[in-house]
Homo-oligomer: A and B are copies of this chain.
Amino acid sequence: MTGRQQLDDIDLRILSELQRDGRIRINELAARVGITAPPCLRRVRTLQRSGAIRAIRAALDERRLGYEVTTFVLIQLESQTLPVIEAFEAAIAAVPRFLQCWRISGDADFMLRCVAPDVEDMRQQLLQFAALPNVRKIRSFPVLGVSKDAPLPIPGHRPTPD
């Protein structure tokens, strides 16, 4: 929206650094990208306003917060008409433990990521959803572990090794 549409080389480096460490000091960031702090601060703000930086947030350890179980869920609805889809999205929006939901194509209509304190709790969450109107099929994929979690590759910028 607001701000530069074209990201220049310095912008890309700023994005790369902020993706690595979102709490980096403007000073340090400026030094790393080769400018001084004032224009660096302006660029960061522009990148935020323009939406290139969507958010800067802490990623928490879900287990430490009592969520021991994560499951991906594929959901197929009875129909793909707008009212049915919107009703489903509204139902999902109301359940705090369905953290993410993507509209997909392929062999299902939605992909969900769901967390729960334990397997029994997860089972009950999913049973409730299987009972929703217009839900034709649910397949769930319990997460055994994370094999990879990499940052978005920034064109022309290998992540700085700290």
Using a CB–CB distance below 8 Å, which chain A residues touch chain B? 7, 12, 15, 18-23, 50-62, 64-67, 72, 74, 89, 92-93, 96-108, 110-111, 115, 139-155
Complex contacts, A145 vs chain B, CB 8 Å: 102-103
Cβ–Cβ contact B19 & A57, under 8 A: yes
A66 CB, min distance to chain B CBs, angstroms = 6
Q: A61-B54, A152-B115 are in contact. Are A146 and B102 (CB under 8 A)?
A: yes
Residue of B nearest to A159 (CB): B96
Complex contacts, A53 vs chain B, CB 8 Å: 58-61
Q: Considering residues A19, A58, A89, A143, which has the most beta carbons from chain B within 10 angstroms of its beta carbon? A: A58
The complex is assembled from copies of this chain, and their number is: 2
A20 CB, min distance to chain B CBs, angstroms = 7
Cβ–Cβ contact A141 & B104, under 8 A: yes
Complex contacts, A153 vs chain B, CB 8 Å: 96-97
Cβ–Cβ contact B99 & A149, under 8 A: yes
With contacts A12-B65, A57-B151 known, what are 10 further pairs, Cβ within 8 A?
Answer: A15-B58, A22-B23, A52-B64, A97-B153, A102-B144, A103-B143, A103-B147, A106-B141, A107-B139, A110-B147
